[in-house]
């Protein structure tokens, strides 16, 4: 999603309002796709659109005044959270399906049982409720954004955006600097979220003359993909541990087609594969990102901030990189 470059020269509140209205329209479009059971990407795309909207509202709420209310933000949060379990199940099912054929024959029944269990999770999710909660929040936000006069703001959107980019890049760097071992899964997940928030700030200005945000978005997407794969592997390992314990608890009532002790070796094998995958991804993260403190990922974003500052009120007096003083 890209906007006309003149958005950068508008007042910050007007630039933000334009972006939010466009994100609302896109999220509505993605929500309508969930009714199509054959659309395999609809859930993922809906989640991304809601996440992008929530991130933008969070970053710019001060520029939107009373148009954004706590109730609307809570509805959006609940709409996104209600889809998390279904999306995690979809991702895990896809991974299990991809490796099932390479498992020893004795372990394949465990993969089949897990796939069936995950399918039930997806089918039992309250997607209709998520769409309803989202629709209520979207309608309320759109009415007020279209009706209310934007709050008075000084400067222009370019300068305000440059400041937000620098602040968010510092947050990403801080998170990355704290990741050290495989036990830091939560920190890696936090870094992924902060990286997405930085990317969402940059996406609307792709294509603006003199502002090379495309490369910055690309680098952040690469980080997101790596951290996303690491998160999926950690989530898979945790889900498999839970499934294995469920199988153990069901030993006394095992019947054909139900979980029991006979499935536990296969589930344990899958869990070990997920743990090994997480280890490989952490090693990649360390070599490709952490050893350089994320400079290859973050420097293009900081160059965009410098270009925005130059457009707004002249070039930065020295350098483009602004390190977190606490790192």
> Tens digits of per-residue pLDDT, 105-128?
999 999 999 999 898 888 777 777
List, in order, residues 6 or more apart from 282 with CB less than 8 Å away.
181, 182, 188, 230
What's the chain's average pLDDT? 86
List, in order, residues 6 or more apart from 116 with CB less than 8 Å away.
none
**Structural domains of the chain ordered from first start:** 1-83+125-154 (1.20.120), 110-115+156-327 (no CATH)
pLDDT surpassing 90 at residue 221 = yes
What would the mean pLDDT of 136-145 be, rounded to a whole number?
A: 91
List, in order, residues 6 or more apart from 14 with CB less than 8 Å away.
150, 157
pTM (two decimals)? 0.85
pLDDT surpassing 90 at residue 43 = no
- Which pLDDT belongs to residue 249? 62
Q: Tens digit of pLDDT for each residue in 164-216?
A: 999 999 999 999 999 988 888 899 999 999 999 999 999 999 878 778 899 99
pLDDT bucket at 243, cuts 50 / 70 / 90: confident
């Amino acid at each position: 999603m890209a906007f006309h470059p003149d958005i950068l020269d508008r007042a910050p509140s007007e630039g933000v309002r334009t972006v939010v209205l466009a994100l609302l329209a896109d999220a509505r479009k993605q929500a309508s796709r969930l009714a199509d059971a054959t659309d395999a990407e609809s859930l993922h795309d809906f989640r991304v659109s809601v996440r992008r909207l929530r991130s933008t509202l969070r970053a710019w709420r001060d520029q939107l005044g009373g148009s954004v209310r706590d109730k609307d933000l809570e509805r959006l949060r609940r709409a996104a959270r209600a889809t998390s379990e279904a999306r995690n199940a979809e991702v895990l099912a896809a991974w299990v399906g991809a490796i099932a054929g390479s498992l020893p024959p004795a372990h394949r029944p465990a993969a089949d049982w897990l796939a069936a269990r995950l399918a039930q999770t997806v089918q039992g999710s309250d997607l209709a409720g998520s769409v309803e909660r989202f629709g209520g929040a979207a309608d309320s936000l759109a009415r007020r954004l279209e009706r209310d006069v934007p709050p008075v703001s000084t400067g222009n959107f370019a300068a305000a955006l440059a400041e937000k980019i620098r602040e968010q890049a510092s947050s990403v760097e801080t998170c990355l600097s704290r990741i050290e071992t495989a036990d830091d899964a939560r920190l890696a997940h936090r870094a992924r979220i902060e990286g997405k928030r930085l990317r969402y700030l940059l996406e609307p200005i792709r294509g603006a003359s003199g502002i090379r945000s495309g490369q910055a978005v690309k680098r952040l997407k690469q980080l997101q993909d790596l951290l996303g794969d690491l998160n999926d592997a950690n989530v898979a390992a945790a889900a498999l541990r839970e499934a294995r314990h469920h199988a153990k608890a069901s030993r006394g009532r095992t019947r054909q087609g139900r979980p029991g002790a006979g499935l536990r070796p296969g589930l344990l094998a899958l869990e070990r594969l997920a743990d090994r995958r997480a280890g490989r991804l952490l090693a990649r993260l360390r070599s490709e990102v952490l050893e350089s403190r994320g400079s290859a990922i973050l420097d293009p974003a900081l160059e965009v901030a410098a270009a925005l500052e130059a457009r707004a009120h002249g070039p930065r007096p020295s350098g483009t990189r602004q390190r977190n003083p606490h790192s």
